[in-house]
Structure 1
């Protein structure tokens, strides 16, 4: 599956559903972003059940600000609408594969429970 261009208009709709969504925050002037793009595109062809989104941080300043993106590329993973991973840096292909495996294996019931506990401790 090809990558999907994410904007403020479609981001919540694409990332809020069930399943796994990866999001690559990038910019055209960023060398590491351009080197990571073919790795990311290749993974999108291998994992057709996953949505591979891309956010151009130059065009989508609001989204970059909303997720406090300070360094690009940043790769974010969501599962069932929950952010389960977010890390800057161009990952090698093996690391992207590993991330996908880990996100697939998550017990989302446990993740939600941990999030709820964390939220209750902040108040």
Structure 2
């Protein structure tokens, strides 16, 4: 799912139009449209406001969950046939992401977080 589709989805979950969410962020409808469509980026203050609007729906949501791309992949352990779903997380190089192993399932991606079996 692209970042633009994620933002549109979150906005729809909040039941807001682009104009109404733009007003909550203190920007015009056109500015919000440009940000949602990926033409310009949200400022840090705007990201924090959006996160705070989503807290009632998703208590554990983070700014990374909302604004950074995440790719999903499925892997299968050859030894025991266990399938696992992993989430490849792209973050800044100075942030560390741990790989939790489940029944010796290994991923070849640099940074992954095991979501579950």
Same structural fold, with TM-score higher than 0.5 when normalized by the shorter chain: no
Relative to its length, the structure with more strand (as a share) is 1
Higher relative contact order (CA 8 A, sep 6+): 1
Relative to its length, the structure with more helix (as a share) is 1
Q: Name the TM-score, length of structure 1 as normaliser.
A: 0.27
* Structure with max Cα Rg: 2
